[in-house]
Structure 1
Amino acid sequence: MAAIWLIRSASMGDEAVAQGETLHYPTPCYPTSMPLLQRYSFRQLLVFASLCTAVLVGGAALRWVDLLENLVRQSADASRSAVAVTLDAQLLAEQTLSMERAAREYLVLRDPALERRFTGAANDADATLGRLADGWIPPDVADRWRGLASSIESLLRQPGPFTPAQEAPITSAFGDLDGINATISEQVHAGVAARSRALGVQLQTRRTQLEWQILVIIAIGLGLAASFGIWFARLLRRMETAVLHLGENRLDEPVDIRGPTDIRALGRRLEWLRLRLLELDADKARFLRHVSHELKTPLAALREGVSLLEDEVAGTLTGNQREVVRILQQNTAVLQSQIEDLLQFNAAAFAARQLVRRRVELAALVQDVVAQQQLQWQARRLRVTVDGGPVWAEVDDEKMRTAIANLLSNAIRFSPLGATIRFRLQREPGRVSLDIQDEGVGIAEADRARIFEPFYRGERQPGDMPRGSGVGLAIVQETINAHGGRIDLRDNGPGAHFHIELPDAS
């Protein structure tokens, strides 16, 4: 279908050009079933990628904030719990001391108020002990403490007056309570330290998890960025290749760039440009054919008429009339020569852009051109050297051979007898270069800016050679430009030095 569309577009272009109309190429239709990424524009995909990255980073940030809040809350809870349990351990020791003081005073005075004070201190101590038993001390320690407290309370409730025998077991029981209190204090401190270590381990674990999450998010972000960058770089390379092909006049290759909608639209514009360039080349070919017919036919009639006048077919000519006929004949010959040169240049320039490329080793190509013109440079006792190589370029062998032959022919014409013509080839980053330098009179400073203009002849011409047509260097430049290269004139005499650069195909 694409081939039929191109053929119809070309035929429509020929008909429209013949009628003097402006062409409007139809927009190619692409199938509706296309990959997901090709349904949106590059701007939309860029916004989507930015939103995905923002959501990813935002979600990670919220997760990090939540983790930090949990860690801060756990740390604060642990600190409050450690302070509270330490105070409870100290309070238990103080409450035990109050119980002992009330018990000893009660043994001596037998005052019921002292008994109530002992009972209240014992109840307060039991409540404190209950809080400590909730995860801080073993149950058996609390049971031993309560058992001793019960035994002391039983001893205090024995009837009768105070005797020294009653004090001994109470003093021993309170001594045991002090030992248990010391054990409880040690266990509380050990529990606080253990919980602090556990919290530190938990903090380190969360920190490690957080670091891994950060690394994973960074890896995902880098992966997304790399994937998007590689994909976009491929699109740019396709567009660059398409533009280079247009610049190198590879108009036989259709431009088909797949990607987002705006990139595809740009590809369609490049395809329209390719077709337009094909149309312009066709217009130039038709123009050349028209010029050849419209100018050469009346010019031939004019020259024939002048010849008839010169042969005095219409009557005898006077001396002045013969002079006029001579001038007419001379100028019609000049005009015909200029028209033929114009047609030759346009035909050669048009042919220079119709390239059939292949991979060619330039040093071997130059050697072949030098061998083909061996009789010409040997007749002037010249020496031709070719240095460098092998270097490879993707060129049209025939067109490049013609361009190098033109340069060598010019060098032969302008070189004095016994001189040397040098070719030098070398590979540079991304390109190959070819230099040709002779030892002739060189290019005058006033001629350098116009040396590649069609039909321009410099002021320095060899006296023993006929003047050239002035189209050779222009054709050389057209050929080199069509290959995507460039040619310039270097100012490092004594002779002319031309420098050519072409894309490297190594």
Structure 2
Amino acid sequence: MSRPSFSSTLLASFLLIVAILGAAAISGWLGLESFARDSRNSATASLALSSGMQRLAERTVDLERGARQYLVYEESSFLERFHGARAETLSALAEIENRLPGIAPLAAQWRQQAEAAEAAVAGHAAAADASQRNEAAAAALAALARINDSLAQEVRGHIMTRNHELLDALDQRRERLTGHILAALALAITLAGLTGWWLLRPLRRIEQSIADIGESRLGQPIGIDGPADLRRVGKQLDWLRLRLGELEANRNRVLRHVSHELKTPLASLREGVSLLADGVLGRLTPEQQEVAAILEHNTRALQERIEQLLHYNAIQFDARRLDLHPSALLPMVREVAGELQLQAQARDVTVDIAGDAPLVRADTGKLRIALSNLIANAIGFSPAGSCVRIELSTQDEKVVIDCIDDGPGIRPEESERIFEPFFQGSHPDQRAAKGTGLGLAIVREFIAAHHGKVSALPTERGAHFRVELPHAT
């Protein structure tokens, strides 16, 4: 069964999340459009009803005025005005009834009273005298006014009901939209979480595998689950693990072989030189004794260099394995300086310790080795009667250890090379000093393993080394 790749999984998840959120947005937009359309239609209908009701009221007033004027003056022009106003009111009433069918009973009453008013005004009523005509017309016109009030109340009630319905619809759409958005967000977050778990779990495993390889923990096979391309990366890392294991085994085998092959003839050579120097094979002339002494010195130095090289290789491997615990620096520095007291007394050098610093996370044994090499280096290169100063302080997020001596110092161009194995600097006093050139290299290895930094700072006199370590917090 083929698995999707990292990029295709990420793209598919992104598109699904966009689709989910887009669907919620489209649903909200459609709901908003529907509500806006209903609101426009309702506003148009309400405006038309209000306008029709206003026109009906105004034409009713004209109708009443025309009727009263005709009843008083009995001129045909007033009767024509009455009939025109009646026709306009009937038109306005029909428009209102068309938009609001529920007022049909009131509209029928209005038409009935309008006919009664017309009959009274036109003289077609049962009563023939003027007083009866006036009373019948006044009653019909008063009834029209009451019916107009009822119609106005019906229209206002209808408009208010419609407004309440729109508000209720708005609340329902808002609640529905809120539910859609929350559901979309929950689904998108769930999908993002599942995608993150699917993608980040193998990435964390890859990160841990790389850290294990960097720390030379090569015994555990590497297997990566998840997308196809990350599985391929896992297979490559496992191949790299096996290859590095083979190279490490080959290196150790070569070092052991070289050590054996060099130390055996070298031991024979030293024994032969020793026999010559002791005169076992015959008395040597002063010149021959000098040559024998040179040979003995160089064979001893060569043997020491071979042993130091093997020791340094072991230290490099050991620096990758740390057992970190919160540790106090000041007591550690004092103990290391106390262990080097005999060396300092032999060279007539004093060690002064000042300051304090917070706890650091450290492998106590390895950090002690680094500090011992740093202070021993300063003592070894210091002139008689001088002082080596160790100062502890804090700068920002770092704990700082300054080691300052009055020795020959370091050339600026050699401030980085001084930490290389077997390099002791080009200053004559440095070359003359007894040492292997591995002390500062070991310091750098162990400090770097603690995620710290060691550097040589420029100074007018002597050497100034600074160690920076992170806080324990």
Structure 2 length as normaliser, TM-score? Answer: 0.74
Match in the other structure for 1:69? 33
CA 1:100–1:400: 2 relative to 1, 3 Å: closer
Residue 489 in structure 1 maps to residue 453 in structure 2: no
**Which of residues 160, 169, 174 in structure 1 aligns to 2:140?**
174
Match in the other structure for 1:131? 98
Structure 1 regions of 5+ residues with no counterpart?
Answer: 1-31, 33-37
CA offsets, 1:376-428, max 9 Å, x none? 22342513315323422232x43332232222211112223343323334556
Counterparts of 1:505 and 1:253, CA distance in 2: 30
Q: CA deviation at 1:193?
A: 5.4
Q: CA deviation at 1:56?
A: 2.2
Match in the other structure for 1:383? 351
CA 1:463–1:304: 2 relative to 1, 3 Å: same
**Which of residues 417, 424, 427 in structure 2 aligns to 1:450?**
417
Counterparts of 2:289 and 2:409, CA distance in 1: 40
Counterparts of 2:412 and 2:48, CA distance in 1: 101
Matches within 5 A, 1:92-111: 92=56, 94=59
Q: CA deviation at 1:90?
A: 5.5
Counterparts of 2:450 and 2:180, CA distance in 1: 52
Q: CA deviation at 1:475?
A: 2.8
Point out the more displaced range, 456-465 or 365-374: 456-465
2:156 counterpart letter in structure 1: A
The share of aligned pairs that are identical, in percent, is 32
CA 1:212–1:181: 2 relative to 1, 3 Å: same
Residue 370 in structure 1 maps to residue 337 in structure 2: yes
Whether contact under 8 Å (1:440, 1:494) holds in the other structure is: yes
CA 1:330–1:148: 2 relative to 1, 3 Å: same
Counterparts of 2:338 and 2:142, CA distance in 1: 122
Match in the other structure for 1:357? 323
Match in the other structure for 1:198? 164
Matches within 5 A, 1:323-338: 327=291, 330-331=294-295, 333-334=297-298, 337-338=301-302
Residue 404 in structure 1 maps to residue 371 in structure 2: yes
Superposed CA RMSD in Å reads 4.9
1:148 counterpart letter in structure 2: Q
Counterparts of 2:406 and 2:191, CA distance in 1: 58
User: What SS does the aligned partner of 2:384 have?
Assistant: coil
Structure 1 length as normaliser, TM-score? Answer: 0.70
Whether contact under 8 Å (1:248, 1:484) holds in the other structure is: no
Residue 348 in structure 1 maps to residue 312 in structure 2: yes
CA offsets, 1:156-195, max 9 Å, x none? 8969995435523441243124413541563366347525
Match in the other structure for 1:22? none
CA offsets, 1:442-470, max 9 Å, x none? 22345434212222233446599862222
Counterparts of 2:278 and 2:211, CA distance in 1: 59
**Which of residues 407, 411, 423 in structure 1 aligns to 2:390?**
423
CA 1:168–1:494: 2 relative to 1, 3 Å: same
Whether contact under 8 Å (2:416, 2:456) holds in the other structure is: no
CA offsets, 1:20-57, max 9 Å, x none? xxxxxxxxxxxx9xxxxx96543233223312221122
Counterparts of 1:157 and 1:254, CA distance in 2: 117
Counterparts of 1:420 and 1:221, CA distance in 2: 70
CA 1:310–1:90: 2 relative to 1, 3 Å: closer
1:145 counterpart letter in structure 2: W
Counterparts of 1:238 and 1:475, CA distance in 2: 32
Match in the other structure for 1:8? none
CA 1:216–1:75: 2 relative to 1, 3 Å: same
Counterparts of 1:413 and 1:283, CA distance in 2: 37
Structure 2 regions of 5+ residues with no counterpart?
Answer: none
User: What SS does the aligned partner of 2:415 have?
Assistant: helix
User: What SS does the aligned partner of 1:451 have?
Assistant: helix
Q: CA deviation at 1:504?
A: 4.5
Residue 186 in structure 1 maps to residue 186 in structure 2: no
Q: CA deviation at 1:148?
A: 2.8
User: What SS does the aligned partner of 2:361 have?
Assistant: strand
Match in the other structure for 2:49? 85
Match in the other structure for 2:437? 470
Point out the more displaced range, 384-393 or 300-309: 300-309
CA 1:141–1:446: 2 relative to 1, 3 Å: closer
Counterparts of 1:289 and 1:257, CA distance in 2: 36
